[in-house]
Structure 1
Amino acid sequence: FTAPFILTVDEILSKIRNLTMRELLGGTLFPDTMKQYDDYSIREALHNAITHQDYTLQEYINFVENPGNVYYENGGSFIPSTLQKALAIRGPQRHFRDECLCKAMVHFNMIDTVSRGIKNISNEQWRRYFPMLDYEIDAANKVVGVRLYGNAINEKYTKILKENKTLTLQECIALDAVQKGHQINKDTAKELLDKGLIKREYPNYQISLGVAKMTHQLPEYTRVSRLERSKLKQMGGFGLETGYMGY
C-alpha cells in the first residue's frame, strides 16, 4: 500500500478480521457485544505510525495481524520517549517530525491535535478490561513498534479491572506491566504495594493477597506464591467463611 494514505487506510483496515465478541455479564441474560478492536483505536494507532514515520529512512510501515493483537512498526524515534511521558502531556504536542503532513492529517480529522490519541486508546482498553498498549522502542535501530490487544491475556488482571472501580489509568498501566512480567520502577511499585495491589517478589511482582481475595483467585495465588503457613491458615479461614472452597 502507498499514498494517498487517506484512501489506503480504509483498504488496509478492511483486511483485518475484527470479530464480534460476546460476554455474558453477571445479573443479566443478555450478552454484551463489542468488536475485538475499537474502530477509533485501530485507526489512531495506524495514523500515528504514518504521522511519526521518519521518511528519510526510506522504510515501509509494517502492520501485522496476529491472533489476539495487531502490531504496528514505523521507522524513527518515539518523540515522547516513554508511554508515561506521552500520557502526561496536557497540551498540544510542540514537536512534529513532518509538520506539513501533520497539518494535512489534522485537516482531514485523521489525527488529534492535542495529543490525546494514546490516552484515548489507553482509556478504551481500560474500559474493555484489555491489556494496555505495548511499546517496543529501539533507539539504536530507529524503530518504534506498538501492539494493540484485542482480547484478555490474564484473567486476574481482567477481574481486577472489573471489580476495582477506584483504579487510576496509571495504576492500570502498572498492573498491566506486572501481568506481562515487565519490571516497574520503585516509586510505582511502592504505590501499588502501599495500596495492597501487588506483592513484593523482587525483582518481579505478583498480585497481592488482598487483590487475589477480592477477585476470587485464592487457589491460583496459593499455588504460585508459596505462601507461608500463617497466610495459608488465613486463606483457609476465608474459604470456610465464604463457602468459596466448596465446604
Structure 2
Amino acid sequence: MEFKEASNDYDTDKLGKYFSALCNEANLRNCERAWLVFGVNERHRRVVGTGYRSQQDRLNSLKDQIARGTSPSVSLRNIHVLQTVEGRVVLFEIPAAPRGIPIAWQGHYYARAGDSLAPLSLEKQDTIRAQTARQDWSAQVVPGATLEDLDPDALHAARASFVAKHANRLDANEMLAWPLSIFLDRSLVTQDGQITRTALLLLGKPESSWRLSPHPAQMTWSLEGPERAYEHFGPPFLLATTALYRRIRNVQMRLLPHDELLPIEVAKYDQKAVLEALHNCIAHQDYSRDGRIVVTEWPDRLVLDSEGTFFEGQPLDYVPGHQRPRRYRNTFLAHAMAGLNMIDTMGYGIHEMYQAQARRYFPLPDYDLSESASVRLTLYGGVVDPAYTRLLMQQTRLSWEDVLALDRVQKKLPLPDEVISGLRRKKLIEGRKPHFHVAASVAAATAQRADYIRTRAQDDAFYAKLVTDYLHEFGQANRKDINALLLGKLSEALSLQQRHTKIGSLLTKMRRQGLITNGGSDAVPRWQLTERSESNSHSSKRSNPNSS
C-alpha cells in the first residue's frame, strides 16, 4: 500500500511507475492486489483530501492510460472514491502481476525500496519469472477466519462421511472422538488449524462466504421451459449439492421393450451421476475467474456450466475408465473432497456417469469445450432416438465402443470412416453419409417400424419402378407429377432441397439408361416411356396374369 497526498494533481508517468512497482510487489508477496491511495499524508497517515481528477470521466480515463502504458497490458481493477469529513480520498485497486510475468511501465520494470520507487532488480525479476509452479487457490488460508465460520450441520455430515470413507482402515469410534481441529486437519480441510478457502467452500456458514470475496462461492439452479424459476446455493457446498439436486424434477419414466407388456421404469436422472457432475464442477472450477456454477434444467436435459478449461486431458479420455489424472487445478480442494467421499481422485467419475446413462438406456453425456475458458456438460433426461434406446435394452452384449459410436449416430454427430465401416459390418447402421441411422433389423425390433421406413432410403431401382409404373398407367408426366409421386416416399432424413435434387438425378439416370424420354423441353419436361420400356412392361404383364 502506497499513500500520496496528490493535493491537486499527480504526474501520470509517476503514477504508472507506482502501478508497475505495486503490481510486482503484490506478486512477490503472494497478495491478490495492492493499493495506491491519494488524499492521505504519506508520513502521518492522516486524511488531507485530494482534488485529483475530480471529474468522474477523467478519473475513469486513467484505466485506459494505464493499460496503454504497461507491458503486458493490464489496468486498474477498480477506482474507489471515498468522501470523508476531512476530504476526498481516491483508492486505486491494483492487481498483482500474473505469476511468471513482471509488469513494466513504458518498457521499464519498477519495485519499491522502502517507501521509494526503484528499478525491479534482476533477482526479483528472476523470482517472478521462475514462478512456474502454479498457486493452488483452494489451499490459501483465509485471514481472520475461525472455526466459528464453519456450519455445525456441515461439520456433522463431514465427520460421518469421513468415517464411512475410512472405516476399513481406521477405528470408527476413534475418528468420532477426535477433537474438531484434529478432524479438520486429518480430513485435509484445514492447515494446522487454520481455515482455508477449501474449508469455507465445503463447510462454511452461508453468512461467512463474504470472506471469499471477490470470488463468488455460489451454485445456481435455473429452470427453463414452460415454467421458469431459479435459486442460488452458497456454502456449505457439502450440503448444498444435495439441496440443489432436490430442486430438479426427477420423475420416473416408462420405457416399453419390444414384445413385452410390462414397461421398465427408470428415473429421469441418475442421482449419483448428477451429484458426481456437481462435485466435479466444484472440484475443478477455476475460482480465480470470479464465476459461479450454473445448472440449467430443461424439459429433457440438464446443462452444467463451470469456469475454467478442462484441466487434464480431454473428457473422452476418461470414458473407458483407464485414464488417471496426473494433476489438479485445485489440488487441496480435490484431496479434501476425496477424503469426505464426495469425489474420487482416480478419474472414475466420468466413466461412471457414462455407464449410468447406458444402464438406463439413455443418451450418453456430452461435453462442450468450445468456449475457451469454460466447460459445459449435458446430462440427458429423455430418449433422443427410440431405436437406440430399445437396442440397448435388447442387445446387452454390445461393446462399449459400439455404444459410444451408436450414441453419436443418434445425435447426428460425425464418426471416423473406420468406425462407420465397423458398424456397417455388424449391420448396426444404414444410410448414406452423413445420414446414418439404426439398421433395419434393429429398427424393426424397436416397434418403431413406421418411423424407420420414413427415414430409410430405398435404392434407385425402387424409385425408378414407381416412375415407370406411373408412366405406363397415365402415358406421360411433368415434373410436378413426378414430385408428387416421389417426394413423400424419399427418406425424411433428406431435406426438401436434397429430395428435389435426388428426383432430378434419378430422371437423368433413367433417361441415359433409355427407360424414359423427354417429349417436352428442358424448362417444361414431359416424361414418357421409351418403346423398349413399353415392350418390357407388356412382357411383364403377360408373364404375370395376376399383376392387375
TM band (smaller chain): 0.7 to 0.9
Q: Distance in 1 between matches of 2:261 and 2:455?
A: 34
The equivalent residue for 2:294 is 62
2:369 aligned counterpart, secondary structure = strand
Q: Which of 205, 220, 242 is residue 436 of structure 2 equivalent to? A: 205
Deviation at residue 75 of structure 1 after TM alignment? 1.1
Deviation at residue 114 of structure 1 after TM alignment? 1.8
- Within-5 A mapping of 1:186-225: 186-225=417-456
2:332 aligned counterpart, secondary structure = helix
The equivalent residue for 2:90 is none
- Within-5 A mapping of 1:6-85: 6-23=238-255, 32-85=264-317
The equivalent residue for 2:197 is none
Q: Which of 179, 194, 205 is residue 410 of structure 2 equivalent to? A: 179
Deviation at residue 219 of structure 1 after TM alignment? 3.2
Letter in 2 for 1:65: E
Structure 1 gaps, min length 5? 233-247
Note if contact 1:80-1:86 (Cα within 8 Å) is conserved in structure 2.
Answer: no
1:14/1:66 CA distance change after superposition, 3 Å? same
1:29/1:164 CA distance change after superposition, 3 Å? closer
2:349 equivalent to 1:117: yes
Deviation at residue 47 of structure 1 after TM alignment? 0.7
Note if contact 2:257-2:446 (Cα within 8 Å) is conserved in structure 1.
Answer: no
Letter in 2 for 1:135: Y
Once the two structures are overlaid, the 10-residue window that deviates more, 90-99 or 176-185, is 90-99
Aligned length: 232
1:76/1:4 CA distance change after superposition, 3 Å? same
Q: Percent identity?
A: 32
Q: Distance in 2 between matches of 1:177 and 1:26?
A: 23
Q: Distance in 1 between matches of 2:386 and 2:411?
A: 12
Q: Distance in 2 between matches of 1:84 and 1:62?
A: 22
Q: Distance in 2 between matches of 1:104 and 1:136?
A: 27
Q: Distance in 1 between matches of 2:265 and 2:441?
A: 31
2:319 equivalent to 1:87: yes
Deviation at residue 175 of structure 1 after TM alignment? 1.0
1:214/1:82 CA distance change after superposition, 3 Å? farther
Q: Distance in 1 between matches of 2:345 and 2:280?
A: 11
1:117-144: per-residue Cα shift (whole Å, max 9, x none)?
Answer: 111111111111101001111252x111
Letter in 1 for 2:349: G
Note if contact 1:123-1:169 (Cα within 8 Å) is conserved in structure 2.
Answer: no
1:137-186: per-residue Cα shift (whole Å, max 9, x none)?
Answer: 1252x111011112212211111111222212222121111111111222
The equivalent residue for 1:3 is 235
The equivalent residue for 1:152 is 383
Deviation at residue 24 of structure 1 after TM alignment? 5.5
Deviation at residue 110 of structure 1 after TM alignment? 0.5
Once the two structures are overlaid, the 10-residue window that deviates more, 170-179 or 25-34, is 25-34
TM-score of the superposed pair, with normalisation by structure 1: 0.83
TM-score of the superposed pair, with normalisation by structure 2: 0.39
1:10/1:219 CA distance change after superposition, 3 Å? closer
2:339 equivalent to 1:107: yes
CA-based RMSD of the aligned residues comes to 2.5
Deviation at residue 100 of structure 1 after TM alignment? 0.3
Once the two structures are overlaid, the 10-residue window that deviates more, 30-39 or 13-22, is 30-39
